[in-house]
Structure 1
Amino acid sequence: MRITYPVPAQTSSVFVVATDRTPTDLSSIVPWRMGPSHRRAARDALGTPRLTLEAFRSTRSPWRRMDLSAEDLRRVRRARHHVVVTSTAPVEEQPEAAQVARAAARGIAEAYHGAMYDPLTGAAVYHCAECPGERRDFRLGDDWLGWRVSCAGEEHACALGAATGAGADVDGGCSCLLTTSRGLRRFGLPEITLTGLACAHSLCAVTVLRTVAESLLAGHFAWLSTRPQRQTGTPSPCRGVARRLRVAGIDYAVLSGGADPERGRGGIPDAEHGFTPGMPDEEEGGLLRVRLTPVAAARSCLRLRLPGGHGENPRPHHTPGLLVA
C-alpha cells in the first residue's frame, strides 16, 4: 500500500540579513563577492524570481516578526537594516535554487558584518570568513532543517527536555512532546511531526526526525530528477511513497496520512500574509505521519509508552506505541 502527497509547481525561500551597516550597492556583492560554487548561477538568476534582493530600514521591514527564538528576534529588531534575499523557483530546480539564494545571503552577511536568519527553519544560519561558505553538494544537516519542539499538554507536570521535581520522569513520565520539522516545504516535501514522546526525550526525537527527513528527501529529489519541468497551468502531480520506510536496510518507519491536494492554502512563511503558494499548510492536513517500527524503536534512544500506558501499562517499552508523525 502507498500513500501520496501533492508536489507543488514552485516553492520559495527567504533569507534575512540583519546588519547595522547601510547596504549601499548590493549588486557589487552579488554575485561578485560570493563563493565560487554558486557565483555563476547567482549571476544568471539575479533580477528574476529565482533571486531578488531588497533592503529595508529595520523599522519599516516586514520581517520584524519572524518566528525566531526570543534572543534572535531581539537581534533582528535592534539591527538598523534588513537585507532580504528571496528565491521562487520551480520545485524541479530545488535544492539548487535555495542554495544559490542562501549563498547570496552569506555573501551579503559577510560584506556587511550581519547575521543571517532563515524564517522557514526559524533559526540563524551561521557563517564566518574562514568557513567554506555554501557547499555545492546539498546536505540537509547544513542548517536546512529546523524543528519546533513543544509540550502538547498543560496537564503534565513536566519541563521540556528535562525532568523536574514536580513529577516528570526521565524514563517517560509524560507523553506530551510534540516535535515538527521545519524546512522541508521549500523542497516540495510535506513537513513531518513526531508526537507522544516524553519531554525528556526531545533530543532523541529530533535525531529520529532528522533521520526520517533525510531518507524521505533523498527519494523526493530522485523522483524530481526524473520528471520534465512542468508547464505553467498544469495541475500539481502527486507522488506515491511506500508505507514502509527503509533506512540502512532496516524497516525504520511506517508512513501514513499525507497531504490532501484539495486542502490548505500553501506554503512557506510570508512577511505579510503568513504563507505563499506552494505547499499545504500544516494545520490543514499537510503533514506526513510516521510510526516507528519496533526494530527501529529498539535501536534508537527513544523509549515509547504503549497506548493507554499511564494506567494499564505504566512501563515504557521499545515499541512503535504512540510515536506518530
Structure 2
Amino acid sequence: MIRHGLPDPLAAAVSQRLGSPRLTITSYPATDSPWDLSDVAGVDEDDAERAAKATCHIDVTSVLPVGDLPCGPHTARAIAMAIAESVCGVPVDLASNEPLPVIPLERLDEFVLADNWLGVALPPYRNSGNCTAEEEDIDGCACVDLTTRGLHRFGLPELEITDVACPHSLAALNVLRTTAQRLLPLGRHPGTHTVPNELMLTGTDFATYWGYGDPMWDDGPLPIDLMEANPARLAIRPPIDFPGTLNEWLWDELPPILHELLSCEPDRPEPN
C-alpha cells in the first residue's frame, strides 16, 4: 500500500530491496525501542516534541553495498517518509537527530543532497546577540563552527569548517555544502580513496547540491584545502598559498552567490 504512494522508480527500488538487509522495517513500542528520541531537536519544535512523546517507533534500516549509493539511503528515507505519512507520524533522521521536513512523496523521485542529508544548519546569527564584534569587522570573531552529520552513510568522512566570523556564516555553510557534493561520487566506488589536499569547487558542484541544472557561478573553480581533523572528519581551510586568514578568504575570494543563497528549490519537473 505504501509503495503505491511513491513515484514509479522508487516503488520499484523498494520492491527489489524490501525484506532483505538492504531495506528492513521493524516496529517497537517506544519503551522497548533501541532509539532514544528524547533529545531530538529541529526547527519545528512541535515535531521534535511529538517524536519524543511517540508511543511506537518504526525503524527503517538499510545495509548497503557501496554500489547502491546514494540510491539506497534515498530509497530507505523515501519509505520512512511514506510510512510516517500513512500513520501521521514524524520521520526522524537518526544521523542528524532531527525531524525531517515534509516533502511531497511525488517529489522524491530524484536524490538531491540538499534534502537535509548533511544535518547541518546555521546557528543563531551573532550567537543569539552575545557576539559583540563590529558587523563590518572581517575577522572580528570566531563564533561559528559547522560540522556535517550524515556524510558517513555515503562512505565519506564528515566535513567541518570552524572559527568562522558571524558575518561569513552563510558563505562558510555554502562552501561546506559544495565540498560535500564534490566528494559525493567517491562513495559510489569500493576501496580506499585518497582525497587531494587541494580540491577545486565549481559552480556546477553548487548547482548539483541543490538539484539545479545550470552552474551557479561562471568564474573559474574555487580552490580549498582539506586537512584531517580526526580519522572520520576533514576540515576545510583556505588554499595553502592564500596569505590571509580564513575569514579574509571567505570575504574576499568566494563567488558572490555563496554569500547570498540560503536555499533553492530543486530544478525538478512538475508532477503530472
TM-score for both structures, normalised by structure 2: 0.71
Q: CA deviation at 1:251?
A: 3.8
Counterpart residue number, 2:18: 46
**3-state secondary structure, aligned to 1:238:** coil
**3-state secondary structure, aligned to 1:141:** coil
**Structure 1 counterpart of 2:115, from 129, 142, 146:** 142
Residue 220, structure 1, aligned to residue 186, structure 2? yes
* Matches of 2:72 and 2:166, distance apart in 1: 36
Counterpart residue number, 1:161: 125
Deviations 1:164-190, CA, capped at 9 Å, x for gaps: 377233334211321111221111111
* Matches of 1:203 and 1:240, distance apart in 2: 25
> Is the Cα–Cα contact under 8 Å of residues 178 and 201 in structure 2 kept in the other structure?
no
Q: CA deviation at 1:294?
A: 9.9
* Matches of 2:112 and 2:223, distance apart in 1: 22
> Is the Cα–Cα contact under 8 Å of residues 122 and 170 in structure 2 kept in the other structure?
no
RMSD, aligned α-carbons:
3.5
Q: How does 1:66-215 map to 2 (within 5 A)?
A: 68-69=40-41, 71=45, 72-127=47-102, 131-135=105-109, 137-147=110-120, 160-162=124-126, 164=129, 167-170=132-135, 171=137, 172-215=139-182
CA gap 1:106/1:142 in 2 versus in 1, 3 angstroms: same
Q: More deviation in 172-181 or 197-206?
A: 197-206
CA gap 1:165/1:142 in 2 versus in 1, 3 angstroms: closer
**Gapped regions of structure 2 (runs ≥ 5):** 204-218, 255-272
Residue 292, structure 1, aligned to residue 257, structure 2? no
* Matches of 2:141 and 2:94, distance apart in 1: 31
CA gap 1:59/1:68 in 2 versus in 1, 3 angstroms: same
TM-score for both structures, normalised by structure 1: 0.61
Q: CA deviation at 1:201?
A: 3.4
Letter in 1 for 2:173: V
* Matches of 2:232 and 2:122, distance apart in 1: 18
Q: CA deviation at 1:121?
A: 2.6
* Matches of 1:169 and 1:161, distance apart in 2: 13
Tell me which protein shows more helix as a share of its residues: 2
Counterpart residue number, 1:238: 193
* Matches of 1:66 and 1:97, distance apart in 2: 27
Counterpart residue number, 1:4: none
Counterpart residue number, 1:272: none
Residue 255, structure 1, aligned to residue 225, structure 2? yes
Q: More deviation in 70-79 or 113-122?
A: 70-79
> Is the Cα–Cα contact under 8 Å of residues 39 and 52 in structure 2 kept in the other structure?
no
**Gapped regions of structure 1 (runs ≥ 5):** 1-27, 151-159, 231-235, 259-281, 307-315, 321-325
Residue 35, structure 1, aligned to residue 7, structure 2? yes
Q: CA deviation at 1:96?
A: 0.9
Q: CA deviation at 1:242?
A: 5.9
Q: CA deviation at 1:53?
A: 0.4
Q: Which has the larger radius of gyration?
A: 1
* Matches of 1:65 and 1:141, distance apart in 2: 24
**3-state secondary structure, aligned to 2:9:** coil
CA gap 1:207/1:122 in 2 versus in 1, 3 angstroms: farther
Q: CA deviation at 1:245?
A: 1.6
> Is the Cα–Cα contact under 8 Å of residues 183 and 191 in structure 1 kept in the other structure?
yes
Q: How does 1:272-291 map to 2 (within 5 A)?
A: 284-291=230-237
Greater relative contact order (Cα 8 A, min sep 6): structure 1 or 2?
A: 1
> Is the Cα–Cα contact under 8 Å of residues 38 and 100 in structure 1 kept in the other structure?
yes
